Chains A and B, each alone.
Chain A
């Protein structure tokens, strides 16, 4: 009987997946369990009743990203005959 137990060397319990790919599967409202400290690290606040409060800073950042995404270069392409 082998006495080697536990995880193999180099094993990691986490894998990387893009937010887009995860979103395709779960949709925008899908619930994802994340670590409390990771979320706090992003700036979110978690109340004693486990309610998540989105701070003003994140809301502003989200808004400015939206504006950035929406800014398109104005151009006109003409094809001469």
Chain B
């Protein structure tokens, strides 16, 4: 019991502003405790769908790391898709920012690392007992000190990371958020607004399981309340906001609504037919639109694409919403 309480307090101390992801918080808290004792952190790889908070958690983790002198450690966020090769990385980033400095580095979109830098990282992160590593490249020597430099990677596509590199990293998997957690995020982002229970549930339902969407929706709610000069957000307020900015049931997009309409009309159809009717490529349909409908049990794939009973309900509701807008 006391251990559980201790763990809970530790999470709150390290991640006071982040909602959900208990398993992630537990693991990261463990590594933060270890860092306090050893000044070393494993090479972390945060894996999860877009908008689940990987960057936010990396930032919060980095905020808890301190330099030798007790000051906060700087946090460097890099977008890997903009790194072209080793030369560019060592010239533009390593020498001016990392070398001889205490800093935490986040390699975001790590699946887009260039091949030569991936190979370099295989050598650099192949540490056994030492906390330093000298890497020789192009006749120059680059020194990495893992007590002074902490490396974190984040990706939505872990399967695209070169497996030997992945083996050198400690994977942290993110899980989907519950509706209650999404509601909590909305509340946290709108501290001056009071919600009726029904309104908060409706809002949480409309943010597509995604905390980034929850933050965006919160901003819209703040704007709505400011324009109405009120601090209370009710179910009617949500309906009015939905009407104004076109929020459909379950937060489905207009293309997803079209898919449901086509499936309702056809009964069932192939991906090719669906693609021809909607006017989007089959891969775009599969990657960007079908996943959410499948996740919400609004459609199913059983050889062919079919709409579910729940999907028919949502489609009717969406069309009613659009008709009332018209």
Contact = CB atoms under 8 A, between A and B. Distances in A.
Interface residues of B, number: 19
B76 A81 contact: no
A3 interface: no
B13 interface: no
Nearest to B63: A80
B63 A72 contact: no
A78 to B, nearest CB: 4
Nearest to A75: B78
B82 A72 contact: yes
Contact of B77 (A68, A72, A78, A79): A78
A71 to B, nearest CB: 6
Interface string B58-77: 01001100000000111111
A73 interface: yes
Contacts of A79: 72, 74-75
Contacts of A81: 72
B75 A74 contact: no
A34 B53 CA distance: 60
Contacts of A80: 62-63, 72-75
Contact of A71 (B73, B76, B77, B82): B82
B114 to A, nearest CB: 11
B97 interface: yes
A72 B92 contact: yes
The 3 closest A-B pairs by CB, nearest first: A80-B72, A74-B82, A78-B75
